[in-house]
Amino acid sequence: MAGPACAGSVPGDGHPYDADTAVVAGGEHRFTATISDRWNGLTGRPLGGFNVAVCLRALMHELPFPDPLAVSSFFLRPVMPGPAELVTEVARRGRRMATGEVRLKQDDLERVRVVATFADLGSVAHPRIFGARPDLPPPELAVDVLGGETRPGATITDRIECRMAGVPGWRTGRPGGTPDVSLWMRFREGRDADTLALPILVDAAAPAVFEIGETGSTTLELTVHVRARPAPGWLACRVTTRCVASGYHEEDFEVWDSAGRLVAQSRQLALLTGA
């Protein structure tokens, strides 16, 4: 099912983000991709949010708007590095928005289902914000969450840099007790995030429940609402969990850009998986 690459004129085609989310058209509403092992989370498997970005990259070839606005993803089965097939479907093409669905399959088995509405967020004027940006020292005074190291197996730590006001409690075996964490994030290797990258970022920090002693979490469902195109530079993020019940927990994630705008809000429902 080889076909022309669909990357288009994306700036920075050589960056791992651009290269690894690329899809290849392979027939009507069908695309192929190679799921990279460069975006693995703590589980050692590709991060859910990364798989979503690949799905959105396929869908944006079907929909006439450039920015994901509302994205809901259900993680049905584990995704493994290697070949994947993406089947797309358009639900509605409107004047201002368009909605479609993507199913990511490996070995003919559906792994991830994404429904997304795209729009044009090119001119977000005068947002009204109720609430404050995360309280963080400037990035140059913040500390690297992993102390400058990366985490073997969790290759996402080679791709994304996280800085906090101090070393998080869970890193030193003393969880702080409150699942409410603020951090700076950005891609390593010199690329700024665009709206398609936001589903990766909101899923790429250590889960907030690490601060209440949990050690693992698997996403079941992730909804991302993109509110504006991020300005270049560091992104100020806040991760919070309010309720852990029956082994499930939700996690909220806010992303604010260097211009002080709230650019993404996400919530995921996840299952605790630690020992």
Note the residues at the interface with its own copies (CB under 8 A). 69-70, 72, 74, 76-77, 91-92, 97, 99, 101, 110, 113, 115, 117, 121, 123-125, 127-131, 178-180, 212, 220-221, 223, 225, 227-228, 240-246, 248, 250, 261-262, 265, 267, 269
Instruction: Judge whether 32 and 22 are in contact, CB under 8 Å.
Output: no
Distance of alpha carbon 30 from the chain centroid: 23
C-alpha 48/C-alpha 113 separation (Å) is: 11
Q: Closer to its own copies at the Cβ: 24 or 136? A: 136
Task: In angstroms, give the least distance from the CB of 160 to its own copies.
Answer: 24
Cβ-in-10-Å burial (0-12, 13-18, 19+) of 140 comes to exposed
CB closer to its own copies, 12 vs 66: 66
> CB burial class (10 A; 0-12, 13-18, 19+) of residue 141?
exposed
Smallest gap from Cβ 254 to its own copies, in A, equals 8
Least distance between its own copies and beta carbon 116 (Å): 9
Report the nearest approach of its own copies to the CB of residue 128 (Å). 4
d(CA 198, CA 255): 8
Residue 21 or 268: the one with the smaller Cβ distance to its own copies is: 268
Shortest separation between residue 240's beta carbon and its own copies, angstroms:
8
Closer Cβ to its own copies, 243 or 275, answer by number:
243
Q: Are 238 and 263 in contact (CB under 8 A)?
A: no
Note whether 7 and 58 are within 8 A (CB).
no
Min CB(44)–its own copies separation in Å: 21
Q: Please identify, using beta-carbon distances, which residue of 167 and 212 lies nearer to its own copies.
A: 212
Nearer CB in complex with its own copies: 128/152: 128
Strand-pair partners of 239: 181, 253
Phi, psi of 79 (to 5 degrees): -100, 135
